[in-house]
Amino acid sequence: MMKLLPILFVAACLVGCGQRDEPEGTADTRTRPDNPMPEPSDLAAPGQTPEGASVQLAPTQGNTAAGSLAVTAAEGSVRLSGAIQGLTPSSEFGFHIHEKGDCSAPDASSAGAHFNPTSAEHGNPESETHHTGDMMNAKSDDKGVAQVDTSASGATLHSGQPTDVLGKAVVLHEKADDYTSQPSGNSGSRIACGVITVQPPPQTAG
C-alpha cells in the first residue's frame, strides 16, 4: 500500500496539470444574461432621418396671433399646414420663413430678414423670382382664424443643404404682402413668430 502512494500522487499531478485554464477573454458570452445580443429594433437604419417638423407660432408683444403648423417636405418645396387664430377677421397677412431661428425679441426682429439662400429678390412665391422663404399670404375668416396650407418653393427639410429650413423662424406680419416692394413686401410689423423644430415622437400610454 505504501508503494502505491507515490504512484497515485504522480498520477493526480499529471491529471491536474493537463487541465489548463481557459485564457481570459475567450469565454463564450453568447449565453451570458449580462451580454444580450442587440434586437433588430435597436439598430438605426442607415441614413435614417426624421420625417417631419412643426412650428408653434406665438404672439409678439401686444398681439394675439398664435397657432400650430405641421412642416413637411414636398416635391421641390416645404409645405406648412395648420391653423392660426387670434387674427383680425377677414384680412390677409404676410407669411414668410425668416433667416434666423430666434423669436426672442419682443417684436421678433431677432428672426432677421426673409430666408434667402439664393440671394434672389423678394416676390410672389408663384413666380420665378422670390425668396426661398416667401409664401402666399395667410387669410383669416370672419372669426379671425386662418386655415393655412401653403408651400415655400425651393426650400428643403432635413437635407443639410443651404435651402434647409429646419431651425429657421416662421413669421406672420400684420398686413398683406404686396409681393412687389423690396425687400419684404411692405407687410408691416411681425405679429407672431415660431421656430421650425423636429416633430416630437408620438406619446404612448405607459
Q: What is the CATH number of the domain that holds 73?
A: 2.60.40.200
What burial letters (b/e) apply to 63-84, b meaning 16+ CB within 10 Å?
Answer: bebbbebebbbeeebbbbebeb
Query: From CA 42, how far away is CA 72, in angstroms rounded?
Result: 26
Q: Does residue 13 fall inside a structural domain?
A: no
Predicted pLDDT of residue 144: 97
Predicted pLDDT of residue 20: 44
Instruction: Tell me which residue range forms the domain holding 133.
Output: 55-198
**Beta strands, E only, 12-163:** 52-59, 66-74, 77-85, 92-98, 134-139, 146-153
Q: Does residue 148 fall inside a structural domain?
A: yes
Q: Does residue 39 fall inside a structural domain?
A: no
Please, which residues have CB within 8 angstroms of residue 109's CB and are 6 or more apart in sequence? Answer: 190
Predicted pLDDT of residue 17: 47
pTM above 0.75, yes or no: no
Count of domains in the chain? 1
**What is the mean pLDDT of each successive set of 10 residues along the chain, which is 206 residues long?**
48 47 39 35 35 92 97 92 97 97 98 94 86 95 97 93 96 95 92 89 47
Q: Does residue 135 fall inside a structural domain?
A: yes
Q: Does residue 138 fall inside a structural domain?
A: yes
Q: Does residue 161 fall inside a structural domain?
A: yes
Q: Does residue 25 fall inside a structural domain?
A: no
Longest dimension (CA), the chain: 117
